[in-house]
Structure 1
Amino acid sequence: MHDSPRQHPRITSEELKYIEDALHEHGSNADRSLKLPVRNIFTSLPVWAIILASVGNNWGLAIFLAQLPTYMKNILGFSIKQNGFLSALPFLLRYVGAILWSSLGDWLTMHRYLSIRASRRLFSVLALWGPAVMVLGVSFSGCNWQATVALICLALFCNGAVTASIIVNHTDIAPNFSGTLFGIDNTFSSIVSFVAPVVVGVMTDGKQTLGQWQKVFWICVPMYAFTEVFYLAFSSGSVQPWNDRVKASAEQELSAENAERRELVTLRD
């Protein structure tokens, strides 16, 4: 880790220029010492769109992470050895999907085929509604392990598109506060990440049946679907006005200092 891009020993001149130009356009590091616009952040619909979409995403992801091996063992009847590989396969495909969808998203916006807002919305649909459709299919696939594994793999491959949409949207709307926004977003998402497995545990404790697991998957569908609807309605790809409040505050402070100096000069005269 390095304190600034300029101090990084392997950064290219093109990348350094890109970062410094962006910082200059949206506020320098010196401006970041000013107060965080808390009220603006928590009353911003684009911020809440990201938070709720992350909540829906993490609900499904937590169930896949924590409960998929249990489902494969108790419902599909896999041995531990088979279970280990097949439980890991969907997440490998999610990693591959993240690279592919992100590259495609960058290409579409760079060549101006899509605006940033349209690109984020397109890939958020893929990341949330894609798994919703696949999970619905899983709930009706019964004990057909080939269909179940294929649908789960497709669900997480589609979910990789979250890196081209929700995860980067903080930087789109507030580059000066993107780290803080990600922290707030991740707090809500982390709460969901431990609540979801608890809910599944309660629902399936002593009831490892296909019917109970269908209910688990049915809960995932509205979580994915409704949070994505909110994201589509209120997300943004533009820098929010309160992001540049740091500039305005700095200019106000400078104006106030200049006014004080002029007043002192007047008094002396």
Structure 2
Amino acid sequence: MLSGVCADYIIHCRYLSVANTRKLFVILNIGVTGVCFVVLAYAGDNIVTFMIFLTIAFCALGFNGASILPNPMDISKTYSGIIVGMMVTTGGCAGFIGPLILALIIENDNTFERWSSMFMITAAVEFFGMVFFLIFAKGQKQEWSEIDTRQNEEMRALVNK
């Protein structure tokens, strides 16, 4: 919740634009998590390093509330529910694809080296998502999100019949 307050403060004080604020928090969210997973891949049997970077990775996920999650409202209040639905559906695929990939990687050989491969795959997916967002994300209302008033009146007429 604090990340959202910080992002609102940055935007309100005009230190950064809405888009650049979202991009900053995506770096703090996804970038830090990706770096932590790379470190985890090389942590070996050092349990202290492993636990520290795993904790940092999960803490960095808290910046999600100021980065990706509010962005659909920035670009289209009208269609934000649909956009969030597509985001959650796409993101939810990792919930079943990730374990399938992990099962293939560690099948009959559950070693740290195999788990390291999964950490690197996770980091690569994180970095890809971050770079994609940094390139394509917008912070202002998009033209396509405007409902044509004529179309809106026609819809009301249909509903009221």
TM-score by length of 2: 0.90
Query: 1:222 maps to which residue?
Result: 124
2:6 equivalent among 104, 107, 116: 104
Query: Which has the higher Rg, Structure 1 or Structure 2?
Result: 1
Amino acid at match of 2:38: L
Q: Structure 2: any 5+ residue segments left out of the alignment? A: 156-161
* Cα distance in structure 2, aligned partners of 1:134 and 1:219: 12
Task: From the superposition, tell whether residues 153 and 247 of structure 1 become closer, same or farther in structure 2 (CA, over 3 Å).
Answer: farther
* Cα distance in structure 2, aligned partners of 1:128 and 1:120: 12
1:202 and 2:84 matched: no
Alignment of 1:137-176 (within 5 A): 137-176=39-78
1:239 and 2:141 matched: yes
Secondary structure at the aligned position of 1:198 is classed as helix
1:117 equivalent among 19, 41, 54: 19
* Cα distance in structure 1, aligned partners of 2:148 and 2:97: 37
* Cα distance in structure 2, aligned partners of 1:129 and 1:243: 29
Query: 1:60 maps to which residue?
Result: none
% same residue? 26
* Cα distance in structure 1, aligned partners of 2:140 and 2:12: 16
* Cα distance in structure 2, aligned partners of 1:247 and 1:222: 44
* Cα distance in structure 2, aligned partners of 1:163 and 1:236: 16
1:135 and 2:28 matched: no
CA RMSD, Structure 1 to Structure 2 (Å): 1.6
Task: From the superposition, tell whether residues 244 and 213 of structure 1 become closer, same or farther in structure 2 (CA, over 3 Å).
Answer: same
Post-superposition offset of 1:249? 2.3
Post-superposition offset of 1:245? 2.4
* Cα distance in structure 1, aligned partners of 2:88 and 2:105: 26
1:122-166 Cα shifts (integer Å, max 9, x gaps): 001111110111111111111111110000111111121111011
1:236-259 Cα shifts (integer Å, max 9, x gaps): 0011111112435236x49xxxxx
Query: 1:20 maps to which residue?
Result: none
Which of structure 1's runs of 4+ aligned residues deviate more than 3 A? none
1:9-31 Cα shifts (integer Å, max 9, x gaps): xxxxxxxxxxxxxxxxxxxxxxx
Secondary structure at the aligned position of 1:249 is classed as helix
Post-superposition offset of 1:229? 0.9
Query: 1:193 maps to which residue?
Result: 95
* Cα distance in structure 1, aligned partners of 2:2 and 2:66: 9
